Amino acid sequence: MRSPYTTSDAVIIEKVIGEPPPKTTSVSTGAWITITAAMAVLIGLVWLVASGRLVNSSGEKFSAVKEGGCDLRVVSLYDQYGTQFNSPWRIKDRIFNAGTQGCIIQFGQISQKGPFTIGPGDVFEREWIIERVPVLVRSDLSVGLSDGTMKKIPIQVYAEQ
């Protein structure tokens, strides 16, 4: 009589003592250390970008304004002011009058005291220091001639967050 646990000589139905245990998959300690280290590096990079320390400085935005008889070139840029990790940021705005006549300019970010005149071929610059990385914003630049008629032109410049 045959054993009730086997059906043929080629198929084993019952486990015999001494066979190796079935293989199971588990994550080793080394894999956990690698995953944890990768997550720590990723979190660190996200923090550096969020705090502005890995941001490419010298972001530069150029705008040409030809309106109301004025021909202006506006450049807004920023960079990190110092070399230390927590150094402040500097924003610089430049307005160049490429036209042949003087233009009256009112630009809230640059001329907070009121409108001013920039002569032909002249450059007006203003810079300030801020704590965090600046952001690109849309701001109105009002331009006009000496007759007093001003027109608002939206341009992009860097500003404090």
Are residues 46 and 91 located together in one domain of the fold?
Answer: no
More confident residue, 48 or 157: 157
Print the domain residue range for 33. Answer: 27-56
If you search the block for the tokens 């704590």, which residue do you land on? 131
Domain boundary residue, one of 56, 76, 101: 56
What's the pTM value of the predicted model, to 2 decimals?
Answer: 0.62
Are residues 137 and 150 located together in one domain of the fold?
Answer: yes
For the chain, the domain total comes to 2
Are residues 70 and 143 located together in one domain of the fold?
Answer: yes
pLDDT in tens, 6-40: 555 666 566 667 666 667 667 678 888 888 999 99
**Model confidence at 64, in pLDDT bands (50, 70, 90)?**
very high
Are residues 80 and 96 located together in one domain of the fold?
Answer: yes
Are residues 51 and 86 located together in one domain of the fold?
Answer: no
Are residues 32 and 98 located together in one domain of the fold?
Answer: no
Domain boundary residue, one of 56, 74, 101: 56
Task: Indicate the DSSP class of residue 109.
Answer: T
Rounded to whole angstroms, the Cα distance separating 34 from 153 reads 54
Distant-in-sequence, close-in-space partners of 88: CB < 8 Å, separation ≥ 6: 80, 81, 82, 129, 130, 131
Q: At CA 44, angle to CA 31 and CA 61, rounded to 5?
A: 135
Are residues 88 and 40 located together in one domain of the fold?
Answer: no
